[in-house]
Amino acid sequence: MLKDITLGQYFPGNSVIHRLDPRMKVILAIAYIVAIFLAKSVFAFALVALTTLMLVIISRISVAVVLRGIKPIIYVVIFTMIINLFMIKGEGEPLFSLWRIRIYEEGIYRAVFMALRVIFLIMATSIFLTYTTSPFSLTAGIEGVLSPLKLIRLPVHDFAMMMMIALRFIPTLVEETDKIMNAQKARGADFSSGGLIKRAKALIPILVPLFVSAFNRANDLSVAMECRCYRSGKGATKLHKLKFSALDFVSLLIMAIFITAIVLINKYVTVGFSL
């Protein structure tokens, strides 16, 4: 069912990662991405692999779920691997050559490293941001991280509000699409046969009611907000005020140690291949 796609992302829980402040999670996710791109040698990659595995274990998200999260990008990964494999020119003799295709040792390493980078990146960001953080606290987190930009008059609160509303209405719209599709199927609509044009035409009976109801909803919501004197966050207080706890500072410290370790490994452990 359509619904499973969006609802399947956040897994409520009470692990250490679930309990982190969402602002800290945004910061940690960015730091982790930096760390992944800093890693240049075999050993640094091994460390990243180890910590990513640790993240999975600590978050108590099932491995199957995390692997399923990688599935959509598998083609991107394969594509970058192939490009790297054929395009990289190494210094020594090619390992393999046929006609104009030459594959070097460097190419293989680079292809594998690139693939691992993308996979770790997806795994880590989804663990920090999507699997363990509800959409609402994620928005609050992003707003918190971006709030210094208020100083240069960027409407951070408005962006956060828009994002929150969009997120809030995704499940509603999915549910509604489901309902409309069922109603049209009950009248004999057929969405799965015929050529491209016929299939595109078959979407009209779904899209028209969907847009009509989305606009109605948007209109109702804006009227309701105005009736409650919404003035884009001026002087508004928060129901759930975010507060950093000791846990957040410890996690930041661990992240700092992790990044330092990667930099040191890159520099001093010279065994094996490095980019």
String marking each residue 213-242 x if it binds other proteins according to CB under 8 A: x-----------------------------
Site for other proteins in 10-49 (CB under 8 A): 11-12
**What SS3 class is residue 18?**
helix
Only one of the segments 20-28, 88-96, 109-117, 178-186 lies at the binding site for other proteins (rule: CB under 8 A); that segment is: 178-186
Among 182, 222, 232, 245, binds other proteins (CB under 8 A): 182
Q: Is the Cβ of residue 221 or residue 236 nearer to other proteins in the bound state? A: 221
Element (H, E) at 101: strand 101-103
Q: Is the Cβ of residue 15 or residue 274 nearer to other proteins in the bound state? A: 15
Only one of the segments 66-74, 76-84, 104-112, 206-214 lies at the binding site for other proteins (rule: CB under 8 A); that segment is: 206-214
Q: Check residue 1 for interaction with other proteins (CB under 8 A).
A: yes
In this structure, are residues 165 and 221 in contact, taking their beta carbons and an 8 Å threshold? yes
H helices present in the chain, as ranges = 3-7, 16-19, 22-38, 42-59, 63-70, 74-87, 105-125, 135-146, 156-186, 196-202, 204-227, 246-268
Asked whether the CA dihedral 219, 224, 230, 233 is positive or negative, the reply is negative
User: Could you tell me which of 157, 145, 82 has the C-alpha nearest to residue 115?
Assistant: 82
User: Could you tell me which of 189, 228, 227 has the C-alpha nearest to residue 205?
Assistant: 189
Among 72, 92, 188, 235, binds other proteins (CB under 8 A): 188
Q: Check residue 158 for interaction with other proteins (CB under 8 A).
A: no
Only one of the segments 79-87, 158-166, 183-191, 221-229 lies at the binding site for other proteins (rule: CB under 8 A); that segment is: 183-191
* Residues making contact with other proteins (CB under 8 A): 1, 3-4, 7-8, 11-12, 176, 179-180, 182-190, 204-206, 208-209, 212-213
